[in-house]
Amino acid sequence: MLTIEDLFGYEILDSRGRPTVAVRARLSDGTVAAAQVPSGASTGTHEALELRDGDPARYAGKGTRKAAAAVREKLLPLVRGMDAGDQQGVDRALIPLKQEAGANAVLGVSCAVARAVADSRHEPLWRVLAAGRRASIPVPMVNIFSGGLHAGRNIEFQDFLALPHGFTTFAEALHAVSRIHAAARKLCESSGLAMTGVADEGGWGPALGSNEQALDLLTRSIGRAGYKPGAEVSIAIDVAASHFFREGRYHLATENRVLDESEMTGLLESWSQRYPVISIEDGLHEDAWAGWVRLTERLGPRLQLTGDDLFTTNPARVRRGIESRAGNAVLVKMNQIGTLTETFEVIDLVTAAGWRGVVSARSGDTEDPFLADLAVASGLGQIKVGSVTRSERLAKYNRLLELESEGGLPFSTLGIVKK
Ligand code: 2PG
Ligand code: MG
């Protein structure tokens, strides 16, 4: 039996230059493998604990040395000698320690062990993760314009993404969004918008006069890149509504207006009619369960309504959403919940319910391509990694290109076609 012999955690920096955790696992056959943990900025209230040192002398209190040290001191004693191939057993042993050691430490162990097992068996990571599930190469939803907490609050809505659903391969879909990203820059420059570098996820973050302007620019960028908006490439939005919600209302500071829930729902409805929008994430606040049900009744038949902060990849919250019909899709982020086992619990709930799912990176990510293999293994058919610049983003796309080139995996047929 292949057992866990040693675990070692260490502090590294994420794509924003902030500390995060990496873990190296050593198995009884000598295999050593490491995994790096991502970190969000627009985090949901119900996410698992990300342990930070709180020492103001280092990285403004955001150091991760405590979480890193907990890997050997607190987590290793729980799993040393366990069957490394029993991911569920390993994860179940770790789950009670999420609060004390940090979910960042726990996830690092969960992923490093999975990778070590794959390496030891000389199997691709996705196949070990899939464990019999139907794997596929996902369609990417790609950030073109950023707002909110990822771009200095230039506008309130966080993500305007291109969803290239009209292509037969991942490589072609990626090529299309790369052209759209370039066309967006040109369009902004010719519109007199200052372009001074990219936002946290590699997209453009110009100072716009309104949130709707981003939709207009994106629709035109798709056209200028040579694609028919809505036919080959549609739009996805991440509203990240919890982050501009105060005292029961949605504050669109850029536009100098404040909306209640039904006005917010109305705004999303009118945009989805005037622009080729097919997917809306976090359109309402993370605890507005009743509002989400109403939103889903109204827009669910036409749109993918994805819960990110609403569900925080938490099986209990996802179950509640499925039962009450709050949304119809789930954003899957491993570090919101802290283990691979719980992440797959969510993936399996989503699949069984006939919902959609999007495997997602964090705005603070790393050069670890783990997420690409997870997305393939999940069979959910969609991945969100940010834009087509910055190597922490490209690490995932490049891995998907590699897997597609090898052949043998189907490209997801999302069936999202809106003419
Ligand atoms: C999101 C993510 C990724 P963050 O809200 O979907 O775009 O952002 O990692 O900051 O939560
Ligand atoms: Mg989100």
Report DSSP letters for 125-147, one per residue: HHHHHHTTS---BPEEEEEEEE-
Return all residues near 332 (Cβ < 8 A) that are at least 6 apart: 313, 343, 346, 347, 350, 357, 358, 359, 360, 378, 380
CA distance 311 to 125: 26
CA-to-CA separations, 99 to 18, 67, 302, 344, in angstroms, rounded: 21, 10, 40, 20
% of the chain residues with pLDDT over 70: 99
- How far is 28 from 399, CA to CA, in rounded Å? 28
Ligand 1 pocket, mutate which of 104, 156, 308 (most atoms under 8 A from CB): 308
- Report, as an integer, the average pLDDT of 116-140: 97
Mean pLDDT over 263-267 rounds to: 98
Whole-angstrom CA distances from 168 to 62, 73, 138, 372 are 43, 49, 11, 18
Phi-psi region of 247 (alpha: psi -120 to 50; beta: other; left: phi over 0): left
Catalytic residue selected from 201, 261, 345, 404: 201
Ligand 1 atom nearest to CA at 362: 9
In the reported structure, the alpha carbon of residue 385 is separated from the centroid of ligand 1 by a whole-number distance in angstroms of 9
Arithmetic mean of pLDDT over the chain: 96
* Each residue's pLDDT tens digit, 112-126: 999 999 999 999 999
Mean pLDDT of 243-262: 96
Q: How far is the CA of 357 from the centre of ligand 2 (A)?
A: 13
**287: CA distance to ligand 1 center in Å?**
17
Quick one: pLDDT at residue 151? 86
Rounded to the nearest angstrom, the distance between the alpha carbon of 198 and the centre of ligand 1 is 16
Ligand 1 atom nearest the C-alpha of 200 is: 10
Which mutation among 149, 158, 198 tests ligand 1's pocket best, with the greatest number of atoms within 8 A of CB?
158
Q: What is the pLDDT of residues 379-402, one digit of tens each?
A: 999 999 999 999 999 999 999 999
**170-190 and 391-406 helices, crossing angle to 10°:** 150
Is residue 419 flagged as an active site residue?
Answer: no
Q: Which pLDDT value is given to residue 24?
A: 98
Residue 383 CA to ligand 2 center (angstroms) comes to 12
Question: Which-ligand-closest: CA of 161?
Answer: 1
pLDDT, tens digit, 9 for 90 and up, residues 269-292: 999 999 999 999 999 999 999 999
pLDDT for the residue numbered 415: 53
Ligand 1 pocket test: pick from 107, 161, 198, 363 the residue with the most ligand atoms within 8 Å of its Cβ.
Answer: 363
From 333, 342, 384, 404, active-site residue: 333
Query: Which domains does the chain carry?
Result: 4-123 (3.30.390.10), 139-406 (3.20.20.120)
Cα separation, 278 vs 117, whole angstroms: 39
DSSP secondary structure of 291-345: HHHHHHHHHTTTSEEEESTTTTT-HHHHHHHHHHT--SEEEE-HHHH--HHHHHH
Residue 174 pLDDT > 90:
yes
Confirm whether 186 is a catalytic residue.
no
State the sign of the Cα–Cα–Cα–Cα dihedral 114, 30, 104, 89. positive
Q: So what's the pLDDT on residue 38?
A: 98
Angle made by CA atoms 280, 373, 320, in degrees to the nearest 5: 45
* Model pLDDT, residue 180: 98
Our mutation pick for probing the ligand 1 site, out of 360, 390, 396, counting the most ligand atoms within 8 A of Cβ, is 360
| Distance from C-alpha of 158 to C-alpha of 153, rounded to nearest angstrom | 8
Q: How far is the CA of 160 from the centre of ligand 1 (A)?
A: 12
- Identify the pLDDT of residue 109: 99
> At residue 417, does pLDDT exceed 60?
no
| φ and ψ of 65, to 5 deg | -65, -35
Q: What percent of the chain has pLDDT over 90?
A: 96
Nearest ligand (C-alpha, residue 283)? 2
Q: Which two tokens stand for residue 90?
A: 């390993």
162-166, 218-222, 411-415: lowest mean pLDDT where? 411-415
Q: pLDDT confidence of 43, banded at 50, 70, 90?
A: very high
Taking a 5 Å cut-off on Cβ, the residues next to ion ligand 2 are 238, 308
Distance 193 CA to ligand 2 centre (A): 25
**Ligand showing the shortest atom-to-Cα distance for residue 282:** 2
Residues with CB under 6 A from ligand 1: 40-43, 158-159, 201, 238, 240, 308, 331, 360, 362-363
Q: Whose CA is nearest to atom 4 of ligand 1?
A: 40
pLDDT attached to residue 200: 94
pLDDT at 150 (0 to 100): 87
Ligand nearest to the CA of 336: 1
Residues in Cβ contact with 171 at an 8 Å cutoff, skipping those fewer than 6 apart: 401, 404, 405
Number of H-type helices and E-type strands within the chain: 15, 14
pTM of the shown model: 0.97
Give the per-residue pLDDT at 419: 33
Number of the ligand 1 atom closest to the C-alpha atom of 309: 5
